[in-house]
Structure 1
């Protein structure tokens, strides 16, 4: 391993590819509920979905798990996929959509740098939906380092942008 290597600042996560047990059910969640668009279907075994026409932000496949069991919380694997919404209002809109659909949430937090809503997809994969506050509003410690925390997200404050 080479010392002092720093990944380029413009590097980004291109996509997440998830193993799922039921492709149709996953598409109902990611496309039907969250609003992603299908960019490619690979038979009835895999799909690639995106926001805004990108080739894919999320891949879904049943290659190894078709009809299998949900992801276990206490095993090694993906903690969650985090989806960044462009505005606080957009986060409020998806919150209302989830609430109207009676989709269960697993949490909601104000992290100082962001506001986040947590849920699990139908296979038990964690999903974080969040909005980043402008960087100049991020809380800092006395020494200037970034301060993050997990405090209660006040839904009324979130919905105030609607």
Structure 2
């Protein structure tokens, strides 16, 4: 039997290959609001929230001017950004809409609420919030009973400040 990972382990950051660094920064900073912590010329940038060194790395080291991978190939499905509560998620989604970025989906998963879109390089982006574990739907064996249902986007956006 494999020993499980420590329960405090988590994904600390994502590092993306992008075709155009300024365009990627405009999305992750200008739209989503992450702050540029470090920029290395036109080659790389590291963005974070709350002064953290970086949640998102962006680089053009092997991808400057490249095109996204074609459909049907392996690679990143999406990067998920966890917001602390429903109001903060609503604010993030409103920023995306105000920037004219099209939404590709909005789902209630029982354990979470999520909104999906694509960044300028074709990478999937999920903006989500977890419900408190006490509110999660449960299977008879007490495991989470996740599902995918339509998220009432208008009700979510009504909580934006």
State TM-score, norm by structure 1. 0.95
- Alignment match, 1:148: 146
| Contact map agreement 1:71 1:125 (CA 8 A) in 2 | no
C-alpha distance in 2 between matches for 1:100 and 1:56: 25
Instruction: Name the counterpart of 2:92.
Output: 94
Give the number of aligned pairs.
Answer: 160
Runs of 4+ in 1 over 6 A off after TM superposition: none
Post-superposition offset of 1:5? 1.0
CA RMSD of aligned residues (A): 1.1
Of 13, 16, 20, the residue aligned with 2:14 is: 16
Secondary structure of 1:99's counterpart equals helix
Q: Structure 1 stretches of 5 or more lacking a match?
A: none
Distance in 1 separating the partners of 2:126 and 2:98: 18
Quote how far apart the aligned CAs of 1:71 are: 3.3
Q: Structure 2 unaligned runs (5+)?
A: none
C-alpha contact (below 8 Å) 1:50/1:58 kept by paired residues:
yes
Equivalent of residue 84 in structure 1, options 73, 82, 85: 82
Are residue 5 (structure 1) and residue 6 (structure 2) matched? no
More displaced 10-residue stretch of structure 1: 57-66 or 91-100: 91-100
